Structure formats: structure tokens, C-alpha cells
A = this chain, B = another copy of it.
Amino acid sequence: MAMEGYRGFLGLLVSALLVGFLSVIFTLIWALHYREGLGWDGTGLEFNWHPVLLVTGFVFIQGIAIIVYRLPWTWKCSKLLMKSIHAGLNSVAAILAIIAMVAVFDYHNAGNIPNMYSLHSWIGLIAVILYFLQLLLGFLVFLLPYAPLSLRAVLMPIHVYSGLLIFGTVIATALMGLTEKLFFVLKNPSYSSFPPEGIFTNTLGLLILLFGALIFWIVTRPQWKRPKEPNPDFLHPNGGTTEGVDGSMAINSGNNTDKSDLELNNEVAARKRNFTLDDAGQRSTM
């Protein structure tokens, strides 16, 4: 990575960390200053863990987990280590999401409020279920050393796609949750009279959206991908420190800008994008 690209990456990474951190701080201030605070007693104090844990785990930590392969100073670390960090961060986010769901169900049940009637709850539950399936699949196929490379090559595009889809869905669900809560609690003065809590929490919503936009940009730049391992994988196909299936992703906009001259000079090669199992098995050894 050239120095200029490295500085650009650092600037965006620091921005993402700052905006993500601010989102968590804003959620805490919302719970502690504008709402009742935090507790575990079936009241609003327990409910407030719901946004705090979800913005911390499902938004911030999940976002960092998505871009962890792109940190240039980790490129000398083994792929197995980086996959463990990726899986570890996502596992922490999953545990926080479960506690956050327990908090809101507890709160509802203690106050005889029905569960699972809102669009927020429907989409949120779907996101949590998909997240756990994604985590399980990732663990079995990509972290454990048993899956054949051909299977990894087939599943990797799906893993990457569904990871980003779930992250985007989580952000949308967070924004719906803020909307719901503000209409619930801002009665006097009402949300529509622009009270400080409304403006503050709208700003939190913008921060969450901006964090998602930054992560999406960082993870789709082709020039910030982790380089492929130098050692051919077929020498030790079941794990170790090298990994043929590349877990990063990039929006491939403009063939002309991120392909080699060699490829551009070869029309057959340039059009050779129809992906078959056999191809994947062989190419993943490179």
C-alpha cells in the first residue's frame, strides 16, 4: 500500500472509530441523562440496556469486526489469527445482542407489554437469527480446518454478502428502534416540539448511519484488501497460517481501475468471470 493510500485509510479508520465511539457515548448519555438510567429490575432501567448493548455490540463492535482484515499492520499476522479476531468480535457482539433482547423481553413481560408486534421487533429478530446462522456457518466452514477449499470458495461470497446485509439491516433496525422509543416517551413536551432529547437522539441516529457509511466505504475499497498469502495453499490445505479463500470484499467499480494490465490485455481472461466449482478449487490454491 502506497503512503498516500495508507494515510487515507488511517483517516477513514480514525473517523469510523470516532463516530462509532461517539454513537456508544451518545447512547449512554441518552440512557443515563435523558432516560431513567440503567438497572436490571424489569423497569425502564432494564429496558435501557437494550439500546446501550445493541449500539455497542451490534453496531460498533460488528462494524469493527467487518473491517478487521483491512488493518495494514495486521497483514503480517497469520490469517488464522485474524479470523479468530473476526470471529471473536462477532461473538462478543452476539452475546451483547442476546442480553439486549433478554432486557427488552423482561421489561415487556414485567409491565404486561406485548412482545414482537412492531416492525422493529420483526426485523430485529430476523437480523439476530441470521447473525447467529452466519456466525455458526463462519465458524464451521472458515475457522475450523475441515471444510474443503472448494466449499469455502462457494460460500465466501455468500458470507461476505450476508455479513454486509445483516450489518445494514441492524443499522436500519436501530433507527426504527430510536424512532419507536422517541414517539413512546416524548409526550410532554412532545417529540414534535423539538425538545433537547429529540434533537440529541436524532443526532445519535445520524451518527449510527454515518458509522455504517464509513464502514461500508472502508470495506469496499479494493486497494485496502489484505494481500493474498504468498505460500500456495495446496501445500497445507486444511488451515495453518495461510488461507486461499480471501475473506475481504471490495466494490469492484470500474474494471479498468483495479485490474492488472496483463488481464486487460487479454480479453479471454477479462471475461473469465463465470465461476465454477472446479475453478474455485484450483484458483484458491494461488
Which residues of A pack against B, CB within 8 Å? 1-2, 5, 113-114, 117-120, 122-123, 126, 153, 156-157, 159-161, 164-165, 168-169, 171-172, 175-176, 178-180, 182-184, 191-194, 198, 201-202, 205-206, 209, 213, 216-217, 220-223, 225, 227-228, 230, 244-267, 269-275, 279-280, 283-284, 286
Contacts and interface: CB of A to CB of B under 8 A. Distances in A.
A153 B257 contact: yes
Q: Secondary structure of the A side of the interface?
A: helix
Contacts of A270: 228, 260
A205 B175 CA distance: 14
Given A156-B257, A172-B172, 8 more contacts: A113-B192, A119-B179, A123-B205, A123-B206, A153-B254, A153-B257, A256-B286, A259-B283
A244 B228 contact: no
Q: Which among A164, A220, A248 has the greatest number of chain B C-beta atoms within 10 A?
A: A220
Nearest to A227: B271
Shortest 10 CB-CB contacts between residues of A and residues of B: A260-B269, A172-B172, A160-B253, A256-B283, A250-B252, A252-B252, A119-B205, A157-B253, A264-B286, A114-B192
24 contacts: A119-B201, A120-B179, A126-B206, A156-B257, A157-B251, A161-B217, A161-B220, A172-B172, A172-B176, A175-B176, A176-B179, A183-B183, A223-B273, A225-B255, A228-B255, A230-B267, A245-B256, A249-B251, A254-B284, A257-B283, A260-B269, A260-B272, A262-B263, A262-B269
Query: What number of copies of this chain does the assembly contain?
Result: 2
Contact of A246 (B169, B246, B253, B272): B253
A265 B228 CA distance: 12
Contact of A269 (B184, B244, B263): B263
Nearest to A173: B175
A257 B272 contact: no
Contact of A118 (B179, B254, B280): B179
Given A169-B209, A213-B165, A262 B251 contact: no
